[in-house]
Structure 1
Amino acid sequence: MQIAFESPDQPEVIALIADLDAYQLTLYPPESVYALDLDSLMQPHVKFAVARDTEGAIVGCGAIVLTPEYGEIKRMYVQPAQRGKGLALGVLSLLEQAALDQGCPLLVLETGPAQPEAIGLYQRHGFQRCAPYGGYPDDPLSVFMEKPLPRL
């Protein structure tokens, strides 16, 4: 498996994000899905990570939106058939390293209560629940989490 930063405007990535969107809409109403579109993912302050299998096919992804206040984890997804292989942790670790390299003091994310596996991954990686941040509403279908980062 290979995990690296790549451009999100690849056909395989666009298809993977469409799978993620479809999956999220089976769990939550549209007004409770806070996803970034492709144009947002292409911004210079966003880094997009791609996980590839041994044949080079894209099987997972994640993004981080870097700001002076925090790095926000977005678009974390691994195809169901590829789960349990450590790919999500690998993507998350790469995103965290990008935040550290930029001097971000904090990682934050928003996920949902219908995704206990994701919440468990984030908790095992040092995230704790927190209040809504940024412009997010206090949505009962959102779980907000944060992880302080060490200063380098």
Structure 2
Amino acid sequence: MRFCTEPDDMQFHLALEDPATPDVIALLEAGDAYGASLYPAESNHFLPLDALRAPNVRFVVARDGQGTAVATGAIALADGFAELKRMWVVPEARGKGISKAVLADLEARAFDAGHALLRLETGIDNHEALALYERKGFIRRGPFGCYREDPLSVFMEKQLGAAAETA
């Protein structure tokens, strides 16, 4: 478990959790609804709950000082890379550094698991997410894994390691 305090004094902690708890399921459903409001079903690539509980997935939850789940994120460890999945911060907790902390935590977990490459897919209209990923060193690339070219998707990757940690 990692405790974080951001400049606006919002305290939160990050920990690996089972995604199949009612409050976390509610967060995942909120993220699904947001994605569904922006993109057709064939352009949403959410890992379902069962897949989030697989042995190759590390699922983290950020909770505020009262223990309320305010953000989620996961990495799926694949052959040769890790994939970032299910990043979501509730609207009322945005702008407080939580997404940066979740991303940094997941990058460290991927690297600790022996993966020096982190990839992701997100939508073209997820402007805040795209800006975060670009600020944190992700570069655009083509589809990977089972993904196909999709005009509504953006594919990105980042090299992890000592050089990346100083950025």
**Normalising TM by the smaller chain, what interval?**
over 0.9
Report the secondary structure of 2:128's partner residue: helix
Structure 1 ranges of 4+ moved more than 4 A: none
2:158 matched to 1:147?
Answer: yes
2:142 matched to 1:131?
Answer: yes
1:69 aligned residue? 80
Shift of 1:150: 2.6
Spell out the pairing of 1:2-151 with structure 2 (5 A cutoff): 2-150=13-161
Question: What is the aligned residue count?
Answer: 152
Counterpart residue identity of residue 70, structure 2: V
Counterpart residue identity of residue 92, structure 1: L
TM-score scaled by length of structure 1: 0.97
Structure 2 CA distance, aligned partners of 1:88 and 1:101?
20
Structure 1 CA distance, aligned partners of 2:79 and 2:44?
25
Shift of 1:68: 3.2
Structure 1 CA distance, aligned partners of 2:75 and 2:41?
22
Alignment RMSD: 1.2
Counterpart residue identity of residue 132, structure 2: L
Q: Percent identity?
A: 51
* Structure having greater relative contact order (Cα 8 Å, sep ≥ 6): 1
TM-score scaled by length of structure 2: 0.88
Counterpart residue identity of residue 143, structure 1: V
Counterpart residue identity of residue 105, structure 1: A
Structure 2 residues not aligned, in runs of 5+: 1-11, 163-167
Counterpart residue identity of residue 151, structure 2: P
Shift of 1:148: 1.1
Structure 1 CA distance, aligned partners of 2:106 and 2:79?
15
